[in-house]
């Protein structure tokens, strides 16, 4: 395979970035939601295209920023500006109010899935409310949006023990692929609780998540290492976690940059949420180089090209 330049040599042709954002805060065109949980600085389409060229990504999945709430008008516009032929979108909806017409507009714009806004349901720390949110979103797209995935990000991997029955009994029969972001928020060694004694497989949630992976039910994004590790810039302590996830099912692991690198998830007070919060500084190429060294050529191609194409490329 031809080397395009020293930075782009890390990724193969056809690679996917399955999780990035765009924040163009044009108040008249795309205002942030007044009840947002975070106020990001501008992260424009032009800047993302620079990043995309730098690392050598061919395709991308633009994830609707929760700062915009459930108004996805910006999502379709950003997909068009990046290039619809190489970009898919993950939207955010209010399942109680979104119309069939609005879902059809999202499909036409290139959207291929939705993410669950747990902040809206006040469900960040409540597994029962998470079940309510998952059911509501799944029921809204069943039949109307075939092939669409459902994405959930949360801060409690231990909740998967209670979420598994819902996933296996309701989402799987409905044919809805379930995706979880950022290593499923499982932690690397540097962030493990003391009782795990440095063993990533001993942490709550690991067994349930890897069992869902083995069954082919759950897709896990290897993304945002700074959310699960303190060992920057190369996050060396994540190797055992990456290996544990990949070994469980190499065909259900995908990669996302999480560009422009928003901070860790948390519930912010209104005053803090409305104050602009800077992005993290991340050595993306260093992280990708580290990640590549832990995987075989086949595993790397699966993660970067084939798995993403299977999940997003055919919708």
The CATH number for 191's domain is 3.20.20.140
Q: How many angstroms separate the CA atoms of 151 and 275, rounded?
A: 27
Domain annotation covers residue 5: no
Return all residues near 169 (Cβ < 8 A) that are at least 6 apart.
none
Sheet of strand 149-152: strand arrangement = 16-20, 59-63, 87-91, 111-115, 149-152, 178-180, 218-223, 253-256
Signed CA dihedral, 35, 70, 221, 177: sign only: positive
**Domain assignment present for 7:** no
pLDDT for residue 308: 97
125 pLDDT tier (thresholds 50, 70, 90)? very high
Instruction: With a cut of 70, say whether residue 298 has pLDDT above it.
Output: yes
Instruction: Give residue 119's pLDDT.
Output: 82
What is the number of structural domains in the chain? 1
Radius of gyration of the chain (CA): 18
284 part of a folded domain: yes
pLDDT for 3: 44
Quote the tokens at residue 167.
Answer: 């996933």
Q: Which two tokens stand for residue 103?
A: 């879902």
- State the residue range of the domain holding 52: 14-313
Is 261 a domain residue? yes
Q: Give the total residue count for the chain.
A: 315
Which range has the worst mean pLDDT, 20-34, 153-167, 179-193?
20-34
- Whether residue 2 is contained in a domain is answered as no
Q: Is the pLDDT of residue 120 over 90?
A: no
User: Cβ neighbours of residue 134 under 8 Å, at least 6 residues apart?
Assistant: 116, 150, 152, 163, 166, 171
In a domain, 8, yes or no: no
Q: 151 in the Ramachandran plot: left (φ > 0), alpha (ψ -120 to 50) or beta?
A: beta
Task: Give 275-288 pLDDT, tens digit per residue.
Answer: 888 999 999 999 99
Q: Is residue 98 part of a domain?
A: yes
In a domain, 9, yes or no: no
3-state SS assignment for residue 8: helix
Least confident of 31-40, 230-239, 240-249, 267-276: 267-276
């Amino acid at each position: 395979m031809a080397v395009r330049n020293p930075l782009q040599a890390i990724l193969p042709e056809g690679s996917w970035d399955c999780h990035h954002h765009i924040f163009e805060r044009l108040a008249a065109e795309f205002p942030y939601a007044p009840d947002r949980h975070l106020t990001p600085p501008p992260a424009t389409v032009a800047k993302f295209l620079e990043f995309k060229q730098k690392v050598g990504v061919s395709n991308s999945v633009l994830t609707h920023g929760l700062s915009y709430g459930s108004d996805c008008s910006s999502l379709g516009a950003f997909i068009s500006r990046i290039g619809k032929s190489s970009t898919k979108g993950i939207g955010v909806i209010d399942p109680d109010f979104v119309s069939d017409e609005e879902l059809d507009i999202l499909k036409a714009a290139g959207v291929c899935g939705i993410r669950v806004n747990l902040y809206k349901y006040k469900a960040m720390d409540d597994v029962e409310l998470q079940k309510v949110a998952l059911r509501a979103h799944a029921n809204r797209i069943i039949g109307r949006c075939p092939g669409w995935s459902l994405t959930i990000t949360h801060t409690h991997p231990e909740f998967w023990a209670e979420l598994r029955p819902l996933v296996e009994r309701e989402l799987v029969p409905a044919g809805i692929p379930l995706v979880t972001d950022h290593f499923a928020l499982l932690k690397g060694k540097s962030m493990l609780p003391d009782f795990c004694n440095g063993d990533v497989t001993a942490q709550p949630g690991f067994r349930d998540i890897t069992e869902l992976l083995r069954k082919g039910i759950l897709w896990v994004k290897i993304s945002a290492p700074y959310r699960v590790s303190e060992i920057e810039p190369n996050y060396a302590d994540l190797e055992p976690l990456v290996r544990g996830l990949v070994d469980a099912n190499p065909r259900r692991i995908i990669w996302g940059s999480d560009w422009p690198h928003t901070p860790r998830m948390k519930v912010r007070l209104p005053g803090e949420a409305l104050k602009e919060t800077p992005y993290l500084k991340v050595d993306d190429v260093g992280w990708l180089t580290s990640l590549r060294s832990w995987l075989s050529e086949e595993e790397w191609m699966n993660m970067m090209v084939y798995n993403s194409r299977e999940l997003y490329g055919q919708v």
